[in-house]
Amino acid sequence: MTTTETSVVGVPAAAPTRLPFAKAINAGLQAALAADPKVLLMGEDIGRLGGVFRVTDGLQAEFGTTRVVDSPLAESGIVGTAIGLAMRGYRPVCEIQFDGFIFPAFDQITTQLAKMHYRSAGRVSLPVVIRVPFGGGIGAVEHHSESPEALFAHTAGLRVISPSSPADAYVMIQEAIASPDPVLFFEPKSRYWEKGDVALGSGPYGAGEVPKTSAADLTTLNRAVVVRPGTDLTLVAYGPTVATALKVAETAAAEGTSIEVVDLRTISPLDSATVVASVRRTGRCVVVHEAPAFYGVGAEVAAQVTEECFYQLEAPVQRVGGFHMPYPPAQLEHDYLPSLDRVLDAVDRALSY
């Protein structure tokens, strides 16, 4: 997106604009930077280069080096200084270059960022966003394809969200920035180049002002969404696997099976009400994510569905995810990732009961 194009943000668009996923995030960041001088971007190579995926392209040129900050190559330092900036009243948005590079910052995120509000008895809030390009499927070398979201969802004090479409990405990044609580924002990097309709001018910063909305208005931080209605089975996904789930539903429809697809959008909190309402109607549930199934988000979904839908369930909840191993060499990732066929296989298993 060029600066000229993003300058329309703030004026509700008459018609949706078609944007790639990465550009939609860029537009959301631009809207927040333009509306609130306290919003800052920090990260490695995000300034002149615009980030290795160009998500921050053009933003340093527009907002300057003190607001779009090329940081030293130290993830703990990025998050640790973001905490200090937030204490001083700023709203830092940190980019972790790749999922596998987040662990140097794991201590600052889980020990400091997540706990500050609690240990200060509510006196200190840290509105810090940590953007993480995550997931595989792009043929990358090691440490560039991981899905560590469950580690953060398991940490109280953090919100963990993941958009699946450009439209959601544009609004969700703004809601993350508007959140008084820290947010881990997992961006499905394999989807960065997928285009979709984006309603520029929507979202908390879309009107060009510092939002006055309360957190309860931040819908995508709290609510899952049914992205395709169906009656025979509920397929739960988030981030990169929502596209897979929609293809599965389409394929299954051709075979006469009606699948409802739920996009979680938020992993912490988990909108179990939406999932449960769906499964109570369909009686069957399959959960799919790229992260290893073992102790994964799907395990929590399965447990909650089992607790809440015991009498409606026609089959055990099926999980489809990565295997319990380090992310394999990319030449093998096609067999590691939950593919259309593997999800269909799980659907068949659920329907066989």
Partner 1 sequence: MTDTISASPVSEGTDGAAIPAGDPSADVFVRGADQDPGVVRLLAPDGTRTTDPAFDAYRRRVAHLDVAALRGLYRDMVITRRFDDEATSLQRQGELALFAQAKGQEAAQIGSGRALAAQDFVFPSYREHGVALTRGLDLPEILHLFRAQEHGGWDPADFNFHLYTLVIGSHSLHATGYAMGVQRDGLVGTGDPDKDTAVVAYFGDGATSQGDVSEALGFAAVNNAPVVFFCQNNQWAISVPTSTQSRVPIAERGPGFGVPSVRVDGNDVLASYAVTAEALERARSGGGPTLIEAITFRTGAHTTSDDPTRYRTRAEEQYWEDRDPIARLEALLRAEGGWDDAFATEVQAEADALGVRVRDFVHALAAPAAATMFDNVYATEHAVVTAERTWFTDYQASFDDADGSHR
Q: How far apart are CA 209 and CA 203, in angstroms?
A: 11
* Helix (H), strand (E), coil (C) string for 283-303: CCEEEEEEEECCCCHHHHHHH
Computed from CA positions of residues 203, 207, 212, 213, in that sequence, does the dihedral angle turn out positive or negative? negative
Of 115 and 143, which has the nearer Cβ to partner 1? 115
| Size of site (CB under 8 A) for partner 1 | 53
Q: Which residues are catalytic?
A: 144
Binding of partner 1 by 349 (CB under 8 A): no
Least distance between partner 1 and beta carbon 29 (Å) = 18
Least distance between partner 1 and beta carbon 330 (Å) = 30
Site string for partner 1, 127-166 (x = CB under 8 A): -----------------------------xx-x-------
Residue 260 DSSP one-character state: E
Please select the residue that binds partner 1; options are 17, 112, 165, 174, rule is CB under 8 A.
Answer: 112
Tokens in use for 341? Answer: 């066929």
Please select the residue that binds partner 1; options are 2, 14, 15, 88, rule is CB under 8 A.
Answer: 88
Q: Tell me which residue has tokens 């429809």.
A: 253
Applying the rule CB under 8 A, the residues between 286 and 345 that interact with partner 1 are none
- The burial of 207, by beta-carbon neighbours within 10 Å (0-12 exposed, 13-18 middle, 19 or more buried), is given as middle
Binding of partner 1 by 256 (CB under 8 A): no
Of 308 and 348, which has the nearer Cβ to partner 1? 308
Please select the residue that binds partner 1; options are 14, 15, 121, 254, rule is CB under 8 A.
Answer: 121
Tokens in use for 186? Answer: 């997992």
With beta carbons less than 8 A apart as the criterion, state whether 133 and 94 touch: no
Q: Tell me which residue has tokens 């984006």.
A: 198
Binding of partner 1 by 238 (CB under 8 A): no
With beta carbons less than 8 A apart as the criterion, state whether 260 and 282 touch: yes
Q: Are strands 225-228 and 266-268 parallel, antiparallel or unpaired?
A: unpaired
Number of other residues whose CB lies within 10 A of the CB of residue 190: 23
Of 154 and 349, which has the nearer Cβ to partner 1? 154
Least distance between partner 1 and beta carbon 194 (Å) = 29
Please select the residue that binds partner 1; options are 10, 16, 77, 316, rule is CB under 8 A.
Answer: 77
Please select the residue that binds partner 1; options are 5, 62, 101, 117, rule is CB under 8 A.
Answer: 117
Q: How far apart are CA 132 and CA 293, in angstroms?
A: 20
Contacts to partner 1 by CB under 8 A? 40, 66, 71-72, 74, 76-77, 79-90, 92, 104, 107-108, 111-112, 115, 117-125, 156-157, 159, 179-181, 214-216, 218, 221-222, 268-273
